A and B are shown apart, each in its own frame.
Chain A
């Protein structure tokens, strides 16, 4: 019973390369979210998804692409990585209910050289 997992946990890449961060949840939660966390900024929402094939932009979507072909997976792609995208990325999910508690993955530390 893994809950919500992210892969890879650590990634080093170079400027201009495409990188995909994976997120998988086993609860069949409807909602999934991607955040980035940087010193001095707290957590900022990049994209979220209300269901398979439904995605929407958050606060800082530029430079990122998401897809959600299956309920359990929500990959985040950096199409052409930049140094400013060096960050810790967290995926989260929540049930479609009034409480909307979010459950977070362990995070992916990404370094763009």
Chain B
């Protein structure tokens, strides 16, 4: 398994603004997943993008994947205070291991 590195480490925005966070990884992947963690809680799966996909939407979330640059971005549109959380990416490499390796995440604060 390989670890993604999220950037920035912290992000503070006003409610209603868009939030963008990035993920970089090192080797080829089968898919990349984004998770959210609210303070004091377990991670919650948000969205999965496969290596043959370039963009995916889910509600206010938009994920892009650029395999040539080995990077992904998560865009949250029209942010709400409830979006305040840490966001983690988890790139998954080839078949075999079912492990996911999480980085340190991006801590998003949405100010009402």
Contact = CB atoms under 8 A, between A and B. Distances in A.
A69 interface: no
Contacts of A101: 33, 45, 48
A90 B37 CA distance: 12
Given A42-B88, A99-B31, A101-B33, A50 B98 contact: yes
A55 to B, nearest CB: 13
Interface residues of A, number: 26
Contacts of B103: 42
Nearest to A31: B98
B43 interface: yes
Contacts of B99: 33, 45, 48, 58
Contacts of A31: 98
Contacts of A61: none
A24 to B, nearest CB: 14
Given A58-B99, A100-B92, A41 B43 contact: no
Contacts of A40: 104
17 contacts: A41-B104, A42-B104, A43-B88, A43-B102, A48-B99, A50-B98, A90-B43, A92-B43, A94-B98, A96-B98, A100-B31, A100-B100, A101-B45, A102-B100, A103-B45, A106-B41, A107-B41
